[in-house]
Chain A
């Protein structure tokens, strides 16, 4: 009657069920692999691409300049990833414990990193290359891409806009940008922004949208009327121009961009959620929950939400994509982050006066395309997986 493992298992794990269904989807597998790669790249960016050697062995013993130059964000990401991996490996016993541990580590790592980690302000990227040439140290282990995103290779002369593998001095797999920085290195570091802005902005939007939309749909009446006016007001705000204004008045801060994209895109989710709640609150299983006197939060988020989340998830996959595009657009217009790498900003450099640098368009553009595409594929598979009716027949 249904897919294997469903009828036989006594495990109530619904999440696992959905996950296994998603994984059956070929497109979703591709999307998850690409997203997983991005996660790996963004977490371990300093290990993959850095001008600082990972390890130096000389008479004085071991030293790792890479670790010394880790920023606060690097450390937070690494700690979080390691803790999450450990917890998954030891099979967290109860969900609540798991989440509290994660939150505690997050807090500790934030506080720790901001107070104790202060990487040297002045970075001289050339020193290691010179050291290596002078053979002062015995053994040097470099990162696979031995260039930091902001290492403009001043020691190598004019290296701006070198085609992939064109340089005779050093290997640039994907060429260099206008300042002479390695494109691959910049792309690896930029995956952080692409992932972060998509997830955080959409997360904020979904959180606000589900709560406001859910209350609107469940209570309807006056709450609905007021909520809909609020939705219309926020829908009238042009996101891109608001972003431009904020960029003009405040710092070019990635977190500010995330929040702005988030709080201007919730109305779409609220509309979807409201429509679903309006439909579902009349359903008999919701009436039954009311009769059993279950608390409001349980009715709203445990009984109604999982049944109405499908269209929101599909919208969210597009939302993640459009958040990435919004940041890329901003960077393309030259109003993104100043010196930090971002895919959109690299695209911006592809066309300069009369020349077209194809590698500056192809690689970042391809990365944006693949990421947006992946999210859409995952959203599509998720929608199929959480629809109980689509599995009755199979």
Chain B
């Protein structure tokens, strides 16, 4: 047994009656992968941090907790009793950790080589500079980074997110650890990069036989990588079993709920309910919004006078037709131009060339600005529920001010009544109208974001990754709500997402974007089941799915 955790409890500020991790036990063998899965706030990260003893200062472990770590030939130790000095020796050499955010976990002022060399030197102080150099190169080769010699002397900002995560893994495995703790290492990455990284981790594991404690919220990833799974909820492990039995025949109600909330499982329920579209051919002829050859480019400025020296083409000859009452999805990896397209439609970004027609009227015909009367017909729902609401304004103000501008409601009281009704429609408490945004949870805030978009009675809403910051159960609720609203208010939606499962559930049509171009546009079922373009096929293959588990 490599790692044996018994009765692990973590609490904050000495509040023993309110533990965030509540006496959990699990064990991990060499060469095996254990996944801790759960929604945000379930205590999975705290568990990982207690194993590495990197808990925040105001958190502490219960005295009864045992974290027994087997050091192979040497005697095993209880990490709960280990002093800070011994822990420092274990970390990096015996226990390594990979973090979620590759953008911030590397030091921006040191080269990749320097950071790797430091970790290796800490592990084997007796090595000479040349030997360290060789080891650095070897570890970067192991994580399949190209141009290794060049990479050693570059700084982190020159690498993409996937490359940085590879460097992080290289640092973790360079010291040949026995235990690798990976805290959501692929959450911030695109699906194709995620697939590569997961494969890489598995290959490295089979090479040197380390045990992996893998923390994730994504059951698709679990299906791909785990040997055993522990499902966490509110600080407790509700179910712990081999991966197959958890995902195929879950015992606990909570696990079943998680599985049901997965978009890929929602799709099945929706297609049983109703087939959404009747006459696609006719609808395509009478298009509501017609985008033709839209180009958006951002100038690259350099030099003393900030002269324009070149352009980044964010959108390259994009053409798209959206029919009334359709849900059109835009799918693609980060940087593919999805958000740029959405914001250009709303007039937030001025296009370089091309046209946007609304029921035949060219919106860009007037040189200066978007026509004023368009603004209440188009709305936008943002990705981040934290930054999309003004933290200083009450929900009431946020909702009522746009109503006033667009002449909805005669006076303040009438607008308050409209806002209260809207809150009711979104399953929010009417009284919460007078609260400030920080008093709401992420899912509630996102519903307020929808309320803000709806308060001016728009016809067309761009939904920009609206569920990517939310847990799956919250996500399924929100998507259901959105589809209901679309029905009751006859909305046309442009749904931007990177998650194929969500898109399959929500949309009628899907446009696949890659490097500022639309590579494929078709009915969603066609895209998801028989994609024609090579890129779309690759993208679909990379999506981790629970159903892929055999």
Residues of A within 8 A of B387 (CB): 283-285
Cross-chain contact B390 with A303 (CB below 8 angstroms): yes
Closest-CB distance, A318 to chain B (whole angstroms): 23
- With A11-B434, A12-B397 already in contact, the answer to whether A292 and B402 are too (CB < 8 A) is yes
Closest-CB distance, A101 to chain B (whole angstroms): 22
Cross-chain contact B390 with A307 (CB below 8 angstroms): yes
The stretch among A24-32, A70-78, A293-301 that forms the contact with chain B is A293-301
Question: Measured between alpha carbons, how far is A326 from B439 in the docked complex, in Å?
Answer: 44
Checking B372, B388, B402 against A294 with a beta-carbon cut-off of 8 angstroms, the contacting residue is: B402
Residues of B within 8 A of A291 (CB): 346, 348, 375, 378-380
Residues of A within 8 A of B393 (CB): 302-303, 306
- With A292-B401, A388-B436 already in contact, the answer to whether A285 and B456 are too (CB < 8 A) is no
Residues of A within 8 A of B382 (CB): 284, 287-288
Residues of B within 8 A of A293 (CB): 372, 375-376, 402, 405-406
Residues of B within 8 A of A302 (CB): 393, 401
B residues 352-389 with Cβ under 8 Å of A? 372, 375-376, 378-380, 382-384, 387-389
Q: Is the interface of B mostly helix, strand, loop or mixed?
A: loop
Closest-CB distance, B459 to chain A (whole angstroms): 14
Residues 402-417 of chain B: 1 if any A CB is under 8 Å from the residue's CB, otherwise 0?
A: 1001100000000000
Cross-chain contact B392 with A306 (CB below 8 angstroms): yes
Cross-chain contact A292 with B431 (CB below 8 angstroms): no
Residues of B within 8 A of A290 (CB): 348
Residues of B within 8 A of A289 (CB): 390
Q: Is A133 an interface residue (CB 8 A)?
A: no
Q: Is B438 an interface residue (CB 8 A)?
A: yes
Cross-chain contact B434 with A284 (CB below 8 angstroms): no
Which chain A residue shows the least CB distance to B391? A388
Q: Is B452 an interface residue (CB 8 A)?
A: yes
Cross-chain contact A287 with B405 (CB below 8 angstroms): no
Which chain A residue shows the least CB distance to B394? A12
Q: Is A352 an interface residue (CB 8 A)?
A: no
Closest-CB distance, A226 to chain B (whole angstroms): 14
- With A292-B401, A298-B401 already in contact, the answer to whether A284 and B391 are too (CB < 8 A) is no
Cross-chain contact A292 with B391 (CB below 8 angstroms): no
- With A12-B394, A284-B382, A287-B380 already in contact, the answer to whether A292 and B405 are too (CB < 8 A) is yes
Q: Is B396 an interface residue (CB 8 A)?
A: yes
Cross-chain contact B396 with A285 (CB below 8 angstroms): no
Question: Measured between alpha carbons, how far is A131 from B375 in the docked complex, in Å?
Answer: 79
Closest-CB distance, A135 to chain B (whole angstroms): 65
Closest-CB distance, B298 to chain A (whole angstroms): 14
Q: Is A100 an interface residue (CB 8 A)?
A: no
Cross-chain contact B402 with A285 (CB below 8 angstroms): no
Cross-chain contact B392 with A388 (CB below 8 angstroms): yes
Question: Measured between alpha carbons, how far is A291 from B343 in the docked complex, in Å?
Answer: 10
Most buried by B among A10, A292, A392: A292
Which chain A residue shows the least CB distance to B384? A284
Question: Measured between alpha carbons, how far is A302 from B393 in the docked complex, in Å?
Answer: 9
Question: Measured between alpha carbons, how far is A10 from B420 in the docked complex, in Å?
Answer: 14
Which chain A residue shows the least CB distance to B452? A288
Which chain B residue shows the least CB distance to A392? B438
- With A2-B439, A10-B434, A12-B397 already in contact, the answer to whether A295 and B392 are too (CB < 8 A) is no
Q: Is A7 an interface residue (CB 8 A)?
A: yes
Residues of B within 8 A of A241 (CB): none
Closest-CB distance, B70 to chain A (whole angstroms): 38
Cross-chain contact A307 with B401 (CB below 8 angstroms): no
Residues of B within 8 A of A6 (CB): 439
A residues 1-36 with Cβ under 8 Å of B? 1-2, 6-7, 10-12, 14
Residues 80-111 of chain B: 1 if any A CB is under 8 Å from the residue's CB, otherwise 0?
A: 00000000000000000000000000000000
Number of chain A residues close to chain B: CB under 8 A: 30
Question: Measured between alpha carbons, how far is A11 from B436 in the docked complex, in Å?
Answer: 11
Question: Measured between alpha carbons, how far is A386 from B393 in the docked complex, in Å?
Answer: 12
Closest-CB distance, B452 to chain A (whole angstroms): 6
Question: Measured between alpha carbons, how far is A346 from B148 in the docked complex, in Å?
Answer: 73
Which chain B residue shows the least CB distance to A305? B392
Residues 304-348 of chain A: 1 if any B CB is under 8 Å from the residue's CB, otherwise 0?
A: 001100000000000000000000000000000000000000000
Cross-chain contact A292 with B392 (CB below 8 angstroms): no
Cross-chain contact A294 with B405 (CB below 8 angstroms): yes
B residues 447-464 with Cβ under 8 Å of A? 449, 452, 456
Closest-CB distance, A214 to chain B (whole angstroms): 15
- With A12-B434, A293-B406, A392-B438 already in contact, the answer to whether A285 and B389 are too (CB < 8 A) is yes
Cross-chain contact A12 with B405 (CB below 8 angstroms): no
Checking A11, A292, A392 against B375 with a beta-carbon cut-off of 8 angstroms, the contacting residue is: A292
Most buried by B among A1, A12, A291: A291
Residues of A within 8 A of B435 (CB): 7
Residues of B within 8 A of A294 (CB): 401-402, 405
Closest-CB distance, A6 to chain B (whole angstroms): 8
Closest-CB distance, A306 to chain B (whole angstroms): 4
Which chain A residue shows the least CB distance to B404? A294
Residues of B within 8 A of A285 (CB): 387-391
Question: Measured between alpha carbons, how far is A287 from B390 in the docked complex, in Å?
Answer: 11
Question: Measured between alpha carbons, how far is A391 from B391 in the docked complex, in Å?
Answer: 12
Checking B434, B439, B456 against A292 with a beta-carbon cut-off of 8 angstroms, the contacting residue is: B456
Closest-CB distance, A221 to chain B (whole angstroms): 10
Question: Measured between alpha carbons, how far is A10 from B429 in the docked complex, in Å?
Answer: 12
Closest-CB distance, A166 to chain B (whole angstroms): 56
Question: Measured between alpha carbons, how far is A312 from B383 in the docked complex, in Å?
Answer: 30
Residues of B within 8 A of A306 (CB): 392-393
Question: Measured between alpha carbons, how far is A183 from B391 in the docked complex, in Å?
Answer: 50
Which chain A residue shows the least CB distance to B385? A284
Question: Measured between alpha carbons, how far is A293 from B377 in the docked complex, in Å?
Answer: 11
Residues of B within 8 A of A389 (CB): 438
Closest-CB distance, B52 to chain A (whole angstroms): 24
Residues of B within 8 A of A284 (CB): 382-384, 387-388
Closest-CB distance, A19 to chain B (whole angstroms): 15
Residues 162-180 of chain B: 1 if any A CB is under 8 Å from the residue's CB, otherwise 0?
A: 0000000000000000000
Question: Measured between alpha carbons, how far is A288 from B343 in the docked complex, in Å?
Answer: 11
Closest-CB distance, A389 to chain B (whole angstroms): 8
- With A284-B382, A287-B348 already in contact, the answer to whether A295 and B405 are too (CB < 8 A) is yes
Which chain A residue shows the least CB distance to B431? A10
- With A284-B387, A292-B375 already in contact, the answer to whether A14 and B434 are too (CB < 8 A) is no
Residues of B within 8 A of A2 (CB): 438-439
Residues of B within 8 A of A292 (CB): 375-376, 379, 401-402, 405-406, 452, 456
Cross-chain contact A307 with B376 (CB below 8 angstroms): no
Residues of B within 8 A of A295 (CB): 405
Residues of B within 8 A of A11 (CB): 434
Question: Measured between alpha carbons, how far is A103 from B209 in the docked complex, in Å?
Answer: 79
Which chain B residue shows the least CB distance to A221? B306
A residues 166-201 with Cβ under 8 Å of B? none
Question: Measured between alpha carbons, how far is A388 from B394 in the docked complex, in Å?
Answer: 13
Question: Measured between alpha carbons, how far is A381 from B416 in the docked complex, in Å?
Answer: 34
Residues of B within 8 A of A1 (CB): 439
Q: What are 6 A-B contacts defined by CB distance under 8 Å?
A: A283-B387, A291-B348, A292-B402, A292-B406, A303-B393, A307-B390
> Which are the 5 A-B pairs with shortest beta-carbon distances?
A292-B402, A293-B375, A284-B388, A306-B392, A284-B382
Q: A288-B449, A288-B452 are in contact. List 20 more A-B contacts (CB 8 A).
A: A1-B439, A7-B435, A10-B431, A10-B434, A12-B397, A14-B392, A14-B394, A287-B343, A287-B348, A291-B378, A292-B405, A292-B406, A292-B456, A293-B372, A294-B405, A302-B401, A303-B393, A307-B391, A386-B392, A388-B392
